[in-house]
Amino acid sequence: MKTTFQVQNLKCGGCARTISNKLSEMEGIKDVIVEKERSSVSFDHQGADGASLVKEALRQMGYPTIDDENGMVLKAKSFVSCANGKLGL
């Protein structure tokens, strides 16, 4: 099943790299495509739980979906995730 989320705090290639790498490591998640220009994350998943697991993983990295709260803590997390992506961590 293909799902696309619009996310917050997606600003650059470092953010996109972090999201792509982390989601691709998740079991049952494939073909991750991050479009920073659209602030979107698309992926294929198996089962009903796949989308909710990805949504929570995005939130934990600091990239909540547009229907979630985006407080200072999540913005700070996205900054760290972005830096890790830029450094290739």
pTM > 0.75: yes or no: yes
Tell me how many domains the chain contains: 1
Residue 29: name the closest of 15, 14, 41, 46 by CA: 46
Q: How far apart are the first and last CA of the chain?
A: 29
**Looking at the domain assignment, is residue 48 inside a domain?**
yes
Q: Tell me the mean pLDDT in the region 12-30.
A: 95
Provide the residue range defining the domain that includes 68: 2-84
27 has pLDDT over 70: yes
Q: Encode pLDDT of 41-62 as tens digits.
A: 999 998 879 999 999 999 999 9
Per the domain annotation, does 89 fall within a domain?
no
75 located within any domain: yes
Q: Band of the pLDDT at 89, cuts 50, 70, 90?
A: low
Residue 81: the pLDDT is 85
Contact (Cβ atoms closer than 8 angstroms) between residue 41 and residue 34: yes
